[in-house]
Amino acid sequence: MSTRIAVLGLGEAGSEIARDLAAAGADVRGYDPLAIPVDGVRSRGSEAEAVADADLVLSVNSAHDAMTALENALPVVRAGTLWADLNTASPGLKVALAERAREHGVPVVDVALMSPVPGKGLRTPMLVSGEAADRYAQLLAGLGADIDVQPGPVGTAISRKLLRSVFYKGLAAAVVEALRGAEAAGCEAWLRANIAAELAGFDERTVDRLVEGTRTHARRRADEMAAATEQLRELGVPARVAPAARDLLVELRDAPTGGLVATAEVTTDAPARYAKQLISHTSRRLTWRTDGAVSSAAIGNGVGTVAVGDGVLTLRAEAPDEETMARIQHVLGDHLERFGRRNELAVGWETEIP
């Protein structure tokens, strides 16, 4: 006997998924308050009618309607029926759905749709979490679904999607705001090409560079984004992303350092040469950012800094724990002593109170 699947919500996403399930041989029944017809799907008059004899329920309505759909179905849904919530809702709402359904013996899985559904339908990549995630995968994989089980309770899958959305949607918002400003300033084509070139050069080390650079240069960049915010306003462009970036940088600038800090001042008549040698040698594994005479790199969960002065090379290590501190001191200090062995360079670390 084919799997009996109820699809609640036959909008853009639900209709394509329901249609593909029916085409793959599943026994599909659906409900939508707008009574949207879908080829191969038996239309039902309510959530309760749709789920009464289902083995699997796909809730594809909206975060706003997810709990209402569950409440309307619970009086008739059979214990053991698998309830899959495919809505882009907060992890907290997903957990609340699972707790409510558990009272009726109905297991819930959290399904995060990881790309737009139109054009993909059932082949849309799905990340699934919850105790019954393997069961969900077994029911749908044979029908052509693209499923990846994410270990963890309900809420784990959608949490990953939403955190990724902070980046993707935030990046899109930044690009839109910047291009609006560029259009007003008469340089949209130039900025569009510049953005495209920057994005094309992204690799794994880019993330480290962005994160560490933001922390290391928060003071200067906070002033820069304050100026950028003011420019947008002068151009008559609503500024939303720019002031948000400014506020984050101000927060980082003013935050207490915390953790462990150690410095070493190494006297030498060639500080620039040794700094260049140290940075060049370690750049195979580290991403260095240079601002004038100061270069810094993320090392583990900490930061190593090399500053060229007049007759002195200053090393600085910032770390959250002793293990990371030792690693940074080894990377900076031990390598420098090896390079300067002929001149008897010695690195002596002194702990600072942050």
DSSP-assigned states of every residue in 271-289: HHHHHHHHHHHHTTT--EE
Does domain 161-254 match CATH 1.10.1040? yes
Q: Looking at residue 269, what DSSP letter applies?
A: S
Q: Which residues contact 81 (CB under 8 A, 6 or more apart)?
A: 51, 54, 55, 56, 57, 106
Three-state DSSP state, 192: helix
Between CA 202 and CA 112 the distance in angstroms is 26
Q: Could you tell me the CA-to-CA distances from 293 to 168, 209, 267, 286, 288 in Å, in that order?
A: 34, 18, 16, 18, 12
Residue 126, Cα to own-chain centre: how many angstroms?
Answer: 16
Between CA 50 and CA 60 the distance in angstroms is 13
Q: Looking at residue 2, what DSSP letter applies?
A: P
Between CA 121 and CA 72 the distance in angstroms is 26
Under 8 Å between Cβ of 320 and 301:
yes
Residue 259 is predicted with a pLDDT of 79
Q: Looking at residue 122, what DSSP letter applies?
A: G
Query: How many Cα atoms within 13 Å fall on the side-chain side of residue 176?
Result: 10
- The residues of the chain that CATH labels 3.30.310.50 are 260-352
Residue 302 is predicted with a pLDDT of 87
pTM of the model: 0.72
Residue 178 is predicted with a pLDDT of 98
Residue 279 is predicted with a pLDDT of 93
Between CA 208 and CA 14 the distance in angstroms is 39
pLDDT tens per residue, range 181-222: 999 999 999 999 999 999 998 988 888 888 888 877 787 888
User: For the chain, how big is the Rg over CA atoms in Å?
Assistant: 28
- The residues of the chain that CATH labels 3.40.50.720 are 4-154
Residue 353 is predicted with a pLDDT of 60
Q: Which CATH number fits domain 4-154: 2.60.120.260, 3.20.20.70, 3.40.190.10, 3.40.50.720?
A: 3.40.50.720
Residue 341, Cα to own-chain centre: how many angstroms?
Answer: 45
The CATH superfamily holding the domain 260-352 is Alpha-D-phosphohexomutase, C-terminal domain (3.30.310.50)
- The residues of the chain that CATH labels 1.10.1040 are 161-254
Kindly report the backbone phi and psi dihedral angles of residue 141, in degrees, each rounded to the nearest multiple of 5, phi listed first. Answer: -60, -40
Residue 258 is predicted with a pLDDT of 65
Residue 257 is predicted with a pLDDT of 58
Residue 354 is predicted with a pLDDT of 52
Token pair of 348 as six digits? 């002596």
**List of the chain residues with pLDDT < 50:** none
Under 8 Å between Cβ of 6 and 58:
yes
